[in-house]
Chain A
Amino acid sequence: MRDLMMLGGMIALIPLSLANAFAAYLLWGWTGVLTPANYLYGFMQSIRYNMLFALITLVMILVAGIREKGIFKLNWTTGLLILFGIQAVVAASLGYANNPFNWEYCSNLLKILVFVLLMPLFMTSRLRIHALLIVLVLGLGLHGFLEGAKYLVSGGGHHVAGIPMSMVGDNNHFAVALVMTVPITYYLFQYSERSLVRLGFLGVTFFLVIAVIGTYSRGAFVCLSIVGLWFIFISKHRVAAFICVAIIGLLIMTLAADTWFDRISTIKTATEDASFMGRVSAWRASSSLALQHPIFGGGFHAVQVQYVWDSFKMSPGLLTFIDVPEEFIRDTARAAHSIYFEVMGDLGFVGLTIFLALLVNAQITCAKIRKLCRQIGPSVDWARDLANMLAISLLAYMVGGASVSLGYYELVYVIIMLIAVVHLFLLEQVKTSTGVQVLR
């Protein structure tokens, strides 16, 4: 039945995407974060929806020559993204042999980079930025809403797992992705006109938080707490924000199962915990690999290849100050379990520098947006609030990502580019309204 519905949906959506390149671009983004194949079990499951809409968009832009309103400009964000892509290709080319993850991850990253680098062509108005945010929530929010609802209905019995066949297949990965989506749904709640739509986004925000609890992820809990505190700190109405966060905290205390509290309390005894110490051993192996290949690293997820893991698992790498007892060092290869160590091991210190520069530059751009908004006035309050929410989302990634291998997750690059796009939009507005050249 779902397959028939999807067939009907595609019969309607494909012609619409062929009629409008921006519509095709939105569908490309939606299928990227939704992974529709997860919800289908029949003949529509094998279709590669993401590739289909990516091809339609690219053909319309590059071959059919359909002109969009925006233009591509080289700036810090686009420059760093291009550099990151080049570094990725070189690292994958020079990486360890017999690595089944290498080109798979590299091509995924390149597809993501193509998607985000095309964004300035399409995102030329507030309306279009708003549409893309809705698409992100329709994609990722659906997973979170469903899982949150299952957790709530089962009275805390449902254990939220990740989304199979996607980058957030692991519960910890999924939890970080959900925490990153919360500020976006909150922004949509703030700026939607109709009260029913506002209520809908508020409901999605609530279920996303519940889904995060349902993952039993300790990292995501820390991440969620930091997001809550940061939310209070940057809010215009701090008392209201504090009350809002306190209510969510109380709800968590009420709704979470006892097993959840047992799990979270193990944060205090992390150094005795096999899961945590296993992560430290993975970080040691990844940093050892990076020290061996400082410029280009070992290629994508090289540390997950058994013979590479065997060569580095006993080396302390950069973490000489942490002793990992031998019983915690696994014989089987394992993932880097940290965005920073993942990129360091995969793309070397050069790759890590570009990656960190991307994250820091995005936060600096958010500060520039706030400054520009003060300059322009209340007409662009939405841009300031959006920049604040995207900055929180990125902060959630930077904190939560410290313990998960999500270095090449689509949403991060979309957020980084969205921040750059909002900044460009404001600069254009200042230029056209005052005729004054603003320093970038």
Chain B
Amino acid sequence: MEAFLFTVDVFFMFLLVLSVVRSDRKAGEKRDLGFFSYRESRDKG
């Protein structure tokens, strides 16, 4: 019982921390750069 409850406790803590991290995460920046962005930027002048 002890091992089970300890595991549940760690799992709940993980869920709490995960939800904190996810809710505090800033909105992702615009993903508009690729591997050839430099080359393309030169072509565009």
Contacts and interface: CB of A to CB of B under 8 A. Distances in A.
A138 B13 contact: yes
Given A1-B3, A149-B1, A23 B20 contact: yes
Contact of A2 (B3, B11, B12, B25): B3
Interface in A8-24: 9, 12-13, 16-17, 19-20, 22-23
Contacts of B13: 9, 13, 27, 30, 135, 138
A142 B3 contact: no
Contacts of B6: 2, 5, 39, 142
B24 A146 contact: no
Interface in A127-162: 131, 134-135, 138, 142, 145-146, 149-150
A30 B9 CA distance: 10
A5 B14 contact: no
Contacts of A134: 16
Contacts of A176: none
A31 to B, nearest CB: 9
A39 B14 contact: no
Contacts of A39: 2-3, 6
Interface residues of B, number: 19
A34 interface: yes
For the complex of A and B, 6 pairs with smallest distance between CB atoms: A9-B10, A39-B6, A20-B21, A23-B17, A142-B9, A23-B20
Contacts of A22: 20, 24
A44 B17 CA distance: 21
A202 interface: no
A255 interface: no
B22 to A, nearest CB: 9
Nearest to B12: A138
B27 interface: no
A26 interface: yes
Chain A interface, DSSP helix/strand/loop, else mixed = helix
Interface of B: 1-3, 5-7, 9-14, 16-18, 20-21, 24-25
A2 B9 CA distance: 12
Contact of B5 (A20, A27, A142): A142
A23 B21 contact: yes
B14 A9 contact: yes
A408 to B, nearest CB: 25
A43 B15 CA distance: 24
A319 interface: no
Contacts of A20: 17, 20-21, 24-25
A2 B21 contact: no
A34 B14 contact: no
A6 interface: yes
Contacts of B11: 9
A145 B5 CA distance: 9
B17 to A, nearest CB: 5
A157 to B, nearest CB: 16
A421 to B, nearest CB: 17
Contacts of B7: 2, 5
A368 to B, nearest CB: 29
11 contacts: A2-B6, A9-B10, A9-B13, A12-B14, A13-B17, A20-B17, A20-B25, A23-B21, A26-B20, A142-B5, A150-B1
Contact of B17 (A6, A27, A142): A27
Contacts of A6: 10
A410 B38 CA distance: 55
Nearest to A12: B14
Interface string A39-56: 100000000000000000
A2 B3 CA distance: 7
Interface in A141-192: 142, 145-146, 149-150
Given A20-B20, A134-B16, A135-B16, 10 more contacts: A5-B7, A6-B10, A16-B21, A19-B21, A20-B24, A27-B17, A39-B3, A138-B16, A145-B5, A146-B1
